[in-house]
A = this chain, B = another copy of it.
Amino acid sequence: MHVTSEQRLDDGVLEREFTLGGIPGILWTPERASAPAPLILIGHPPLGLRRMHPRLAGRARYYAAEYGFAAATIELPGSGDRPRWAAAEQARADLRRALEAGEPVRGEIVDALVLPLVARAVPEWRTALDALLALPGIGGPVGYEGGVISIGIRLAVVEPRIVAAGFFAGSLVPAAMFEEARRVTIPLQVLLQWDDEGNDRQAALDLFDAFGSKEKTLHANLGGHTGVPHFELDAGARFFARHLK
The minimal Cβ–Cβ distance linking A186 to chain B, given in whole angstroms, is 13
When distances are taken between beta carbons in the complex, the residues of chain B under 8 Å from A242 are 231
Given known pairs A194-B209, A231-B242, the reply for A217 and B217 (CB within 8 Å) is no
Q: By the criterion CB–CB under 8 Å, are B209 and A216 in contact?
A: no
The minimal Cβ–Cβ distance linking A219 to chain B, given in whole angstroms, is 6
Q: By the criterion CB–CB under 8 Å, are B229 and A217 in contact?
A: yes
Q: Is the interface of A mostly helix, strand, loop or mixed?
A: mixed
A220, B242: Cα distance in complex, Å: 18
When distances are taken between beta carbons in the complex, the residues of chain B under 8 Å from A219 are 217-219
Per a CB cutoff under 8 Å, which of B214, B218, B235 touches A220? B218
The minimal Cβ–Cβ distance linking A109 to chain B, given in whole angstroms, is 28
Q: For the complex, is A98 an interface residue (Cβ under 8 Å from B)?
A: no
Q: By the criterion CB–CB under 8 Å, are A214 and B222 in contact?
A: yes
When distances are taken between beta carbons in the complex, the residues of chain B under 8 Å from A205 are 205
The minimal Cβ–Cβ distance linking A189 to chain B, given in whole angstroms, is 10
Q: For the complex, is A215 an interface residue (Cβ under 8 Å from B)?
A: yes
The complex is assembled from copies of this chain, and their number is 2
> Which of A205, A222, A242 gathers the greatest number of chain B CB atoms within 10 Å?
A222
Q: By the criterion CB–CB under 8 Å, are A213 and B222 in contact?
A: yes
> Which of A194, A220, A235 gathers the greatest number of chain B CB atoms within 10 Å?
A220
The minimal Cβ–Cβ distance linking A212 to chain B, given in whole angstroms, is 10
Q: For the complex, is A208 an interface residue (Cβ under 8 Å from B)?
A: yes
Q: By the criterion CB–CB under 8 Å, are A222 and B231 in contact?
A: no
Within 8 A of B (CB), among A187-224: 194, 205, 208-209, 213-222
9 nearest A-B residue pairs (beta carbon)? A218-B220, A216-B222, A217-B221, A219-B219, A217-B219, A231-B242, A214-B222, A215-B222, A218-B218
- A-side residues, CB < 8 A to B, are 194, 205, 208-209, 213-222, 229, 231, 234-235, 238, 242
Could you list 26 A-B pairs, sorted by A, with CB under 8 Å?
A: A194-B209, A194-B218, A205-B205, A213-B222, A214-B222, A215-B221, A215-B222, A215-B229, A216-B221, A216-B222, A217-B219, A217-B220, A217-B221, A217-B222, A217-B229, A218-B218, A218-B219, A218-B220, A218-B221, A219-B219, A220-B220, A231-B238, A231-B242, A234-B238, A235-B235, A235-B238
